[in-house]
Amino acid sequence: MSALRFIGTEAPRPDAPDKVAGKAVYIHDLVRPGMLYGKIKFSSFAHARIKSIDTSRAERLPGVRAVITGYNTPEIRIGFIKDNFALKKGKVRQYRDEVAAVAATDPDIAEEAIELIKIEYEELPGVFDPEDALKEGAPLIHETDPRGKHRTDNIVPVPWKFVSGDVEKAKSESAHIAEGYFTTPLIQQSCMGTAGCIAEFDLQNNLLIHTKTQIPFLAQNDFNRALAAMGLKGKNTRVVVPTLGGSFGTGLDTHGYEYISILLAYKTGRPVKIVLNREEEFASLSPRQPTRTWISQGCDREGRLTFRDVRMILDNGAYTSWGATTPSVMMLPISSIYRVPNVFYETKIVYTNNTYCQAMRGYGNPQAAWALECNMDQLAEAAGMDPLDLRLKNKNIPNDITPMGLNITTCGHEQCLNAVAERLEWRKLRGKGAAKARGVGMASLFHVGGSGRVYRSDGTGIIMKLDDFGNVSVIAGGIEMGQGFTSALALASAEALGVTPEKVTVVTGDTATCPWDVGTHASRGAFTACNAAILAAEKAREKIFKLASEHFMPRVHFSLKLRKKKDPSFEMPDLNWERICDPSEFDLKENVLFLKEEPKNPLLRVTLEEILREAHFKEQGTMIVTEAFYDPCNQMLDAATCRGNLSATYIFGAQGAEVEVDVETGEIKILNFVAAHDVGRVLNQQTIKGQIYGGIAQGVGYALSEEYRTSKGRNLNPNFLDYKILSAPDMNFPIHIECIETLDREGPFGAKGVGEPGLVPTAPAIANAVYDAVGVRITDLPITPEKILAALKRNK
């Protein structure tokens, strides 16, 4: 590949100016003519029968335009296995169950109306611990499955099991074994912009919904099914996505509030907006699943891994989202991080009366990495090895196929481990800070880097449209949610096409105009869209060069004649102006066409826009629009064996922390943090660092401060007063980022996906550093001073 002009630069984001000026339009800012405000009445119990609902007082309140319940609207089933309903009838299974909703002319009236709805419940015994839910005689959360078949237990019918080799045999032959039990809490995504939508119908009963989603096309599909359930079979949905105030997985499913807003809009004939306030966002969106993990790993005398045995229980909550598929991603590191021949992995997902869960950034990987990487350090200790040496001994290598069938192509795992060790001064500091209660720790990461096929199609479409002025619209199915999607796509499109980035406008977020895309998840946005853009750009270049073969020489002649007119001293070169060039003679760079043979000739140059205009405005003219659909070379996992090459390439990395523990208070201070990631290739220096810094901050929060607390299913901290994400003073330590470029053959310009991995190894790296500092191992996140101090006391 010739020298890259834009890829790898430190380029400002195209969406930044509007955002700094307060001009970007989020769902909160959007107003539609005649719009009403919707509000939802949530359950007052975690598990109860609905005895009666009295909406009469709410209906009489001036300004109220509609009051709906599950009893006066069509039944709309939602969720990954359709075990959830837009509005609940019969019983409620969690505090956030939607029992009724109103639409009113003013948000204050809607709020008042909600308080006037009286619901009588008969409380049922609840179950809030997934292990209790598995016990015989536990209350059933769902008495029947979505098909009406009687259920006898609380196990979600989405099982995950992967077996490779013979773990029992390997256990008996291992020289060293380390066992551990690790847990992770519920985590709230905490997007700064809360969720919301505006639903409205046109006069043909087609639905237009502006909504905060990462999956506009799957959402369209979901909403079309809802329309069918409402008696509007065959009607279509247009999903439009406004600027997103973060998403982090919240937009991977469609939600109750969206369907309620659709029902209210249909009933009132007016646009209905529902935007969650912060308390509702906490209490009624789906957090990251909590996990309980029993793990053991073994190695031989030389420290080579012999087996890995991982059993997990996931608290699903009351209903099932796409989050139930996160074990497919957990399985990647569990089966394949570090080379290990014998693996057993099984996950049970269990219904409880807790809030139902969803995927969050990392899609299960943070939970898996927490257990794996802490247990690696335990194994290193059992084997009497330095944890870095154990990791290096078992490192992943390029061109390897793992027992799960993951085809590792490029792999910078070793470079990442070494980079972290060097920056952290590992050899100097490890094991030597006890006197000052200081320590260093590290952890690795293994994640999808080339999308992840969790849906039948993993594709993404691009339309590339060129206009008379050499501007390029890149119309994409993916979504910008803050991660830098439009920036990466603009740079890649400019680079691949041969124009400058400011000529490129990325258009996204409209199912009526953008080509299909499975969703912006799995760190796939830039990887898939830029690959699609490269294909579309190749097609466009072919067309441009064909047009140039006809118009190039005459155009050069024309402009030289103009020049001669202005400057009679100019000497006209002697060229064959009628020559029809071959398309293969041309190249296009930075908006200018030239002959490959004479790239430096200042006379033989024509701008792209001139050629496009010539082609457009001649008789029987033409314009250039190309499209491409890129579907990566990856596989769905085999349902029975869980084998398959889930991603087109894999991302590796390592992070390390130096910490100091206050042994009197148990407080942890991070002194230094290092992240080395195999990113394939850096597309934009600025945005890639933003992704990694931001991931680390979320990872440090996961490690030290974040916990969505509940008591019998009710959220105790539905606000930032008590749900502690980190602020600027908390992140006051040096962070060094190293991007290792392995130039992946499947990646656009060699790039791999980088959106999620930043937070994956952060928590175990910190936990391992704490262990090095003071010899206590915290196994349940977050690592609070309370836990450290209690452990220090026990150690005494």
Partner 1 sequence: MKKVLSFVLNGHEVSAEIESHKMLLQVLREEFQLTGTKEGCGQGECGACTVLVDGIPVDSCIYPSFEVDGKSVTTIEGLLGEGNVLHPIQAAFVAHGGVQCGFCTPGMIMSSKALLDETPMPTVQEVRNALAGNLCRCTGYVQIVDSVLSAAEKIQAEIKQ
Partner 2 sequence: MKRFEYYQPRTLDEAFERMGNLKGAGKYVAGGTDVIVRLKQRALKVDALVSLRGIAGLGDIAHNGALSLGGCALFRDIERNEVIARDFPALHQAVSMLANPQVRNVATIGGNLCNAAPSADCAPPLLVMDAVITLEGPRGKRDVPIESFFKGPGATLVEAPEILTGITIPAITPGTGSAFLKMGRVSQDIAKVNAAALVVMDGEVCLKCRLSAGAVAPVPLRLKACEKLVEGRRIDHDLLEEVALTASREVSPITDVRSTDDYRRHIAGVLAKRALGDALKFSTF
* Residues in contact with partner 2 by the rule CB under 8 A: 108, 111-112, 279, 664-667, 705, 709, 716-717, 721-722, 724, 726-727, 729-730, 784-786, 789-790
For partner 1, give the closer residue by CB, 133 or 241.
241
Q: Which residue has the tokens 């400057």?
A: 567
640 binds partner 1 (CB under 8 A): no
Q: Are 208 and 442 in contact (CB under 8 A)?
A: no
Distance CA 232, CA 453 (A): 31
Q: What is the DSSP string of 453-521?
A: --SS---EEEEEEE-TTS-EEEEESS--SSSSHHHHHHHHHHHHHTS-GGGEEEE-SBTTTSPPB--S-
For partner 2, give the closer residue by CB, 489 or 774.
774
736 binds partner 1 (CB under 8 A): no
Q: Of 479, 472, 564, 422, give the one whose Cα is nearest residue 218.
A: 479
For partner 1, give the closer residue by CB, 353 or 687.
687
For partner 1, give the closer residue by CB, 257 or 586.
257
273 binds partner 1 (CB under 8 A): no
Q: What is the DSSP string of 362-380?
A: TTTHHHHHHHHHHHHHHHH
Q: Of 372, 396, 303, give the one whose Cα is nearest residue 653.
A: 396
- List C-alpha distances in Å: 680 to 677, 741, 755: 9, 5, 13
Helices (H), 352-484: 365-383, 387-393, 413-423, 426-429
Which residues in the 208-247 window bind partner 1 by CB under 8 A?
243-247
603 binds partner 1 (CB under 8 A): no
Longest dimension (CA), the chain: 100
**ω into 62 cis (within 30 of 0):** no
For partner 2, give the closer residue by CB, 106 or 582.
106
The binder of 15, among partner 2, partner 1, none, by C-beta within 5 to 8 A per type, is partner 1
First-residue to last-residue Cα distance in the chain: 61
Smallest gap from residue 424 Cβ to partner 1 (A): 18
Size of the site for partner 1 (CB under 8 A): 55
Smallest gap from residue 481 Cβ to partner 1 (A): 6
For partner 1, give the closer residue by CB, 28 or 616.
28
Among 735, 767, 769, 778, interactor with partner 1 by CB under 8 A: 735
333 binds partner 1 (CB under 8 A): no
For partner 2, give the closer residue by CB, 133 or 657.
657
Smallest gap from residue 730 Cβ to partner 2 (A): 5
The binder of 13, among partner 2, partner 1, none, by C-beta within 5 to 8 A per type, is partner 1
Distance CA 333, CA 444 (A): 10
Identify which range of 456-464, 522-530, 644-652, 690-698 contacts partner 1 by CB under 8 A: 690-698
Identify which range of 135-143, 188-196, 338-346, 456-464 contacts partner 1 by CB under 8 A: 188-196
Identify which range of 118-126, 384-392, 542-550, 716-724 contacts partner 1 by CB under 8 A: 716-724
Smallest gap from residue 54 Cβ to partner 2 (A): 21
720 binds partner 1 (CB under 8 A): yes
Smallest gap from residue 363 Cβ to partner 1 (A): 17
Q: Are 526 and 490 in contact (CB under 8 A)?
A: no
Distance CA 61, CA 430 (A): 68
Token couple for 289: 């699943």
Distance CA 122, CA 399 (A): 60
Where in 124-172 does DSSP place strands (E)? 160-164
Identify which range of 55-63, 186-194, 390-398, 595-603 contacts partner 1 by CB under 8 A: 186-194
719 binds partner 1 (CB under 8 A): yes
The binder of 22, among partner 2, partner 1, none, by C-beta within 5 to 8 A per type, is partner 1
777 binds partner 1 (CB under 8 A): no
From the number of C-beta atoms within 10 Å of its C-beta (0-12, 13-18, 19+), residue 754 rates as: buried
689 binds partner 1 (CB under 8 A): yes
For partner 2, give the closer residue by CB, 26 or 720.
720
732 binds partner 1 (CB under 8 A): yes
Distance CA 346, CA 353 (A): 23
Identify which range of 79-87, 198-206, 592-600, 731-739 contacts partner 1 by CB under 8 A: 731-739
Token couple for 453: 């096929």
The binder of 392, among partner 2, partner 1, none, by C-beta within 5 to 8 A per type, is none
Helices (H), 521-607: 525-566
676 binds partner 1 (CB under 8 A): no
Tell how far CA 579 is from the center of its chain: 52
Tell how far CA 729 is from the center of its chain: 26
The binder of 194, among partner 2, partner 1, none, by C-beta within 5 to 8 A per type, is partner 1
For partner 1, give the closer residue by CB, 56 or 732.
732
For residue 282, the one-letter residue type is F
Q: What is the DSSP string of 42-93?
A: EPSSSSEEEEEEE-HHHHHSTTEEEEEETTSS---EESTTS-EESS--SEE-
The binder of 716, among partner 2, partner 1, none, by C-beta within 5 to 8 A per type, is partner 2
For residue 57, the one-letter residue type is R
The binder of 665, among partner 2, partner 1, none, by C-beta within 5 to 8 A per type, is partner 2
Smallest gap from residue 192 Cβ to partner 1 (A): 4
When computed from its CA atoms, the radius of gyration of the chain, rounded to whole angstroms, is 29
190 binds partner 1 (CB under 8 A): yes
The binder of 667, among partner 1, partner 2, none, by C-beta within 5 to 8 A per type, is partner 2
694 binds partner 1 (CB under 8 A): yes
The binder of 789, among partner 2, partner 1, none, by C-beta within 5 to 8 A per type, is partner 2
Among 4, 5, 9, 24, interactor with partner 1 by CB under 8 A: 24
Question: Which residues, other chains included, contact 623 with Cβ-Cβ below 8 Å and sequence gap of 6+?
Answer: 466, 467, 612, 615, 616
Tell how far CA 632 is from the center of its chain: 17
The binder of 17, among partner 1, partner 2, none, by C-beta within 5 to 8 A per type, is partner 1
728 binds partner 1 (CB under 8 A): yes
34 binds partner 1 (CB under 8 A): no
Q: Of 320, 273, 291, 314, give the one whose Cα is nearest residue 85.
A: 320
717 binds partner 1 (CB under 8 A): no
148 binds partner 1 (CB under 8 A): no
Smallest gap from residue 670 Cβ to partner 2 (A): 13
Q: Which residue has the tokens 């952890």?
A: 443
Q: Are 431 and 445 in contact (CB under 8 A)?
A: no
Q: Of 646, 639, 635, give the one whose Cα is nearest residue 160.
A: 639
Smallest gap from residue 454 Cβ to partner 1 (A): 24
Distance CA 207, CA 238 (A): 6
Smallest gap from residue 755 Cβ to partner 1 (A): 11
For partner 1, give the closer residue by CB, 378 or 698.
698
Q: Of 454, 483, 446, 452, give the one whose Cα is nearest residue 651.
A: 446
Helix (H) or strand (E) holding 615: helix 608-617
Residues in the chain: 796
Among 277, 505, 559, 635, interactor with partner 1 by CB under 8 A: 277
Smallest gap from residue 719 Cβ to partner 1 (A): 6
Which residues are bridge partners to 443 per DSSP?
Answer: 655
669 binds partner 1 (CB under 8 A): no
Sites of contact with partner 1 (CB under 8 A): 12-13, 15-26, 28-29, 108, 189-194, 243-248, 277-278, 481-484, 686-687, 689-690, 693-698, 719-721, 725, 727-729, 731-732, 735
